[in-house]
Structure 1
């Protein structure tokens, strides 16, 4: 297409993304009060169990309104992620080959549920993480937290877990592009296990190891599953390369027919 047609196509895709975002923002606005109560519940439990002051502080006249707007659009970005990810794929796919189109479609269908699963995991580990981080408050102290800082922390945790669950998709994509082999990724398994264990211990610091296991196990399963796919892809690529080399060597001593030279 001409540049003008590309810009028109981009405008249409962005318009659809904006419509989906606004509709999802309305849903986020409606769900905000119930979600905020659930998010603040760990602090309420701390007040009951430890007998300390633990609460959220709205330190401005318009703070509560601003937070509701920000939270609504944050929720909208999550709820509408299938729409805007698809619109992004639909915009770039005309410039791809059929093989590249299949690959990117597979990445898209894998990335969306994994990202949402990471968000859900972050929601599950949030109470334990809040309890663990506030447990360092000395006796007689209080946890009066700015609501803006607290919700920012919650959003960052959700995004971190969502992006963490996308790492396998990135690994497979990099391997498919031929930048790194699966066995090279496998060499870093010790560092990966250590990093996942540390993150799991921080996010789910229960008195037993089950909470840490249930958080770290999915991340490790996704990581090693992605490496397994990369190794299988490397073997398939090596077989194809060996086959092409054998075919080339078998025909290297043959003279090229005159008809083929005329076609060239």
Structure 2
């Protein structure tokens, strides 16, 4: 309901990447207005934006509940990572969402260019909102990758040395996963998601190495 009260400014915010494409490439987009194909589409779009916004606002609570589910299987020294786990997960998800938002116009421009200059662009508002929501979710989930890697190292499932040795295979896997979770499928968005994930891979190895070494020193 909180997001629903701010529907108009939120919609303007979501529309901005498309507006950037309209301003930059008038040869591709002649009309920057959204369209609806039914009397219920506007109402459904409001509900959709409220749902996406509610999920984002509820993310800290969801992650905390996930951590509480995992905690019984952890040692007492590992339970101290609860707050860092939740905070880093929320921050990285939000960071991924903003990264998706501020690079979305590049992906949109590439996708629209495939329609041809003779095709009139008329985006349905509900489909556009769904597209933006999927992109934000894909990048947000993708940016959780280092948290998962650090957790696996702390749990002893993998060792930092193993991750270093398998970096070539990891890069291939990262690109494949990025291609799967990227809803647009365009190479620009794929590259924009893959590069941060590769950097996160090596950062997670460093954090995991330091954390496991400190734990050994404590023991």
Residue 76 (structure 1) aligns with: 54
In structure 1, distance between residues paired with 2:29 and 2:199: 40
2:27 to 50, 58, 74: 50
CA deviation map 1:164-189 (0-9, x unaligned):
11100000111111111112222343
- Alignment partner of 1:203 is 2:178: no
Q: Distance in 2 between matches of 1:238 and 1:97?
A: 13
Aligned residues: 208
* Counterparts of 1:186 and 1:121, CA distance in 2: 27
Question: What is the TM-score of this pair, normalised by structure 2?
Answer: 0.77
For residues 216 and 28 of structure 2, what CA distance do their matches in structure 1 show? 64
Q: 1:32 touches 1:71 (CA, 8 Å); kept in 2?
A: yes
1:98 matched residue in structure 2: 76
**Of residues 10, 24, 28 in structure 2, which corresponds to 1:35?**
10
CA distance in 2, matches of 1:177, 1:168: 14
CA-based RMSD of the aligned residues comes to 3.4
Q: Which runs of 5+ in 1 are unaligned?
A: 1-24, 206-211, 244-264
Q: Confirm or deny: 8 A CA contact 1:129 1:204 kept in the other structure.
A: no
Say which of 114, 129, 152 aligns to 1:151.
Answer: 129
Question: Aligned with 2:34: secondary structure?
Answer: strand
1:169 lines up with 2:144 in the alignment:
no
For the Cα contact (< 8 Å) 1:128–1:204, is it kept in 2? no
1:229-261 Cα offsets, whole Å, 9 max, x none, are 223445567778xx9xxxxxxxxxxxxxxxxxx
2:38 corresponds to 1:63: no
| Matches of 1:171 and 1:77, distance apart in 2 | 24
Contact in 1 for aligned 2:17/2:105 (Cα 8 Å): yes
Q: Distance in 2 between the 1:188 and 1:94 partners?
A: 31
Instruction: Give 1:128's aligned residue.
Output: 106
Distance 1:47 1:222, change over 3 A: closer
Distance 1:164 1:141, change over 3 A: same
Residue segments in structure 2 that go unaligned for 5+ positions in a row: 180-185
| Closer/same/farther in 2, CA of residues 38 and 78 from structure 1, 3 Å limit | same
Find the aligned partners of 2:169 and 2:72 in 1 and give their Cα distance: 40
Structure of greater Rg: 1
Distance 1:119 1:148, change over 3 A: same
